Amino acid sequence: MADQTAVVGGVDTHTDFHQAAVIDSIGRHLATQAFPTSPDGYRRLLDWLCSHGDVIAVGVEGTGAYGCELARYLRQNQITVIEVDRPDRRARRASGKSDPIDAFAAATAVLTGRAGGIPKAHDGIVEAIRTLRVVRRSAVKARTQTINQIRTLIITAPGEVREQLRALTPAELIKNLARSRPGTQTNDPACAVKVALRRLARRHQYLTAEIDDADAELEALMARAAPELVALPGVGIETAAQLLITAGDNPERLTSEASFAHLCAVAPVPASSGRTNRHRLNRGGDRRANHALHMIALVRMRYDQRTQAYVTRRTAEGMSKKDILRCLKRFIAREVYKYLASQHTPAKPLIQGA
Spatial distance between the Cα atoms of 176 and 168, rounded to a whole number of angstroms: 9
Burial class (CB in 10 A: 0-12, 13-18, 19+), 74: buried
CB atoms within 10 A of CB 351: 14
Does 352 score more than 50 pLDDT?
no
Average pLDDT, integer, range 46-62: 94
The single-letter code of the amino acid at 150 is I
| Alpha carbons 267 and 275: distance in angstroms, whole number | 22
Q: What is the predicted pLDDT for the residue at 3? A: 60
| Whether pLDDT at 86 is above 60 | yes
Under 8 Å CB-to-CB from 99, ≥6 apart: which residues? 12, 14, 19, 34
Q: What is the mean pLDDT of residues 266-285?
A: 76
Backbone angles phi, psi at 339, to 5 degrees: -65, -45
Lowest-confidence range among 135-144, 183-192, 216-225? 183-192
Alpha carbons 150 and 157: distance in angstroms, whole number: 10
Which tens digit of pLDDT belongs to each residue from 15-29?
999 999 999 999 999
Report the run of H or E that residue 91 belongs to, with start and end. Answer: helix 89-95
pLDDT digits (tens, 9 = 90+) for 285-323: 899 999 999 999 999 999 999 999 999 999 999 998 988
pLDDT at 6 over 70: yes
Q: Reply yes or no on whether the pLDDT at 151 is more than 70.
A: yes
pLDDT given at position 90: 67
Query: What are the C-alpha distances in Å from 192 to residues 100, 185, 195?
Result: 58, 7, 5
Residue 184 burial (C-beta neighbours within 10 Å; 0-12, 13-18, 19+)? exposed
Tell me how far CA of residue 262 lies from CA of 85, 246, 256, in angstroms: 17, 11, 10
d(C-alpha 180, C-alpha 162), whole Å: 14
What is the reported pLDDT for 97? Answer: 80
Instruction: Give 86 or 242, the one with higher predicted confidence.
Output: 242
Instruction: Grade residue 272 by pLDDT with cuts at 50, 70 and 90.
Output: confident
Mean pLDDT of the 157-164 span: 86
Q: What is the pLDDT of residues 325-341, one digit of tens each?
A: 989 999 999 999 998 88
pLDDT at 150 over 70: yes
Tell me if 48 sits within 8 A of 35, measured CB to CB.
Answer: yes
347 band by pLDDT with thresholds 50, 70 and 90? very low
Domain boundaries, the chain: 6-112, 125-225, 229-343
Residue 208 has pLDDT above 70, yes or no: yes
For the domain with range 6-112, which CATH number is right: 3.30.420.40, 3.60.15.10, 3.90.79.10, 3.40.50.360?
3.30.420.40
pTM (2 d.p.): 0.82
> Is it the case that residue 2 has pLDDT exceeding 50?
no
3-state SS string over 104-157?
A: HHHHHHHHHCCCCECCCCCCCHHHHHHHHHHHHHHHHHHHHHHHHHHHHHHHHC
Lowest-confidence range among 56-70, 138-152, 276-290? 276-290
What spatial distance separates the first Cα and last Cα of the chain, rounded to whole Å?
Answer: 25
Mean pLDDT over 71-77 rounds to: 95
Whether the Cβ atoms of residue 244 and residue 237 lie closer than 8 Å to each other: no
Q: How confident is the model at residue 45 (pLDDT cuts 50, 70, 90)?
A: very high
